[in-house]
């Protein structure tokens, strides 16, 4: 069932993106902008994440007719599709079966936006087509678990082979326990998307952005060692955002 939902979601977002980019060449100015800068922040969800993938912020400025220049930053938790959440038989707490590392992607981005449909003042929907990209700084942080040996419980980096007896796993360790042992991984990212703005007031920005993102690292990223690990991570995403204009 999850495979079918994923395919339908990808098809829908692809259709929206293609429509936007075909129509952007035909978009024309229908009135002067009464602002020159825009600031937004948002929370995102993608096909490589859990319920919430991460957070993002972006600054945009008008550089021409129906055109904006943007500078953004995204921080996202990237998950492996083989990660399995399990409940400990010892404590009832949860842990991630097979996972050895977290991957947090820090993505500075430069982009361009084009107005596809411009809304009337204080009403309607504005649609922008977006193309952005930049470097990726990957933070690979060890995943710790609490493991019972006899009457003693220790907090240790998870090793699927050494800790193969999952009946002794008490649960996940403290979230930031492995931050001092993190490794930095270098990569790059690019995205194409459509943003739909529904703000009622001229100085407010509210809406969502949906599209596709491709991220690649210079080496394979080990998240679940007993599964197929990748260095290229394609995904579909959606982001809810809010902000203001000046």
> What is the chain's mean pLDDT, rounded?
86
Give 22's contacts (C-beta < 8 A, 6+ positions apart): none
Q: How many CB atoms lie within 10 A of CB 50?
A: 11
- What tens digit of pLDDT does each residue of 14-27 get? 666 655 555 544 44
Quick one: pLDDT at residue 77?
A: 95
- What tens digit of pLDDT does each residue of 80-131 get? 988 889 999 888 899 999 899 999 999 999 999 999 988 766 667 889 999 9
For the chain, list the strands marked E by DSSP.
37-46, 54-64, 67-78, 84-87, 94-97, 101-117, 126-142, 144-149, 152-157, 169-172, 183-197, 204-217, 232-245
Phi (first) and psi of residue 11, to 5 degrees: -65, -40
Q: What is the pLDDT confidence band of residue 1, given thresholds at 50, 70 and 90? A: very low
Quick one: pLDDT at residue 34?
A: 64
Instruction: Output the CA–CA distances (angstroms, integers) from residue 141 to 4, 124, 159, 177, 213, in the order listed.
Output: 32, 44, 14, 9, 23
Instruction: Output the CA–CA distances (angstroms, integers) from residue 81 to 105, 132, 144, 220, in the order listed.
Output: 16, 26, 19, 15
**Of 200 and 31, more confident:** 200
- What tens digit of pLDDT does each residue of 64-87 get? 888 999 999 999 999 998 888 999
Q: How many CB atoms lie within 10 A of CB 120?
A: 10
């Amino acid at each position: 069932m999850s495979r079918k939902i994923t395919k339908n979601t990808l098809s829908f977002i692809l259709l929206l993106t293609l429509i936007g980019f075909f129509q952007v060449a035909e978009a024309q100015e229908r009135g002067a902008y009464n602002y020159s800068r825009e600031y937004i922040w948002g929370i995102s969800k993608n096909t490589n994440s859990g319920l919430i993938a991460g957070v993002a912020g972006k600054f945009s400025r008008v550089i021409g007719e129906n055109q904006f220049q943007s500078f953004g930053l995204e921080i996202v938790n990237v998950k492996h599709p083989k990660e399995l959440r399990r409940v400990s038989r010892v404590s009832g707490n949860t842990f991630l079966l097979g996972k050895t590392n977290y991957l947090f992607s820090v993505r500075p981005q430069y982009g361009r936006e084009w107005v596809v449909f411009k809304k009337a003042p204080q009403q309607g929907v504005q649609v922008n087509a977006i193309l952005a990209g930049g470097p990726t700084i990957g933070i690979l942080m060890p995943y710790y678990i609490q493991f019972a040996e006899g009457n003693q419980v220790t907090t240790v980096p998870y090793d699927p082979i050494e800790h193969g007896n999952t009946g002794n796993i008490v649960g996940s360790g403290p979230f930031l326990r492995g931050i001092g042992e993190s490794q930095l991984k270098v990569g790059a990212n690019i995205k194409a998307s459509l943003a739909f703005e529904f703000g009622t007031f001229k100085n407010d920005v509210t809406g969502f952005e949906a599209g596709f993102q491709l991220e690649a690292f210079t080496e394979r990223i080990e998240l679940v060692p007993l599964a197929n690990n990748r260095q290229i991570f394609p995904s579909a995403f959606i982001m809810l955002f809010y902000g203001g204009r000046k």
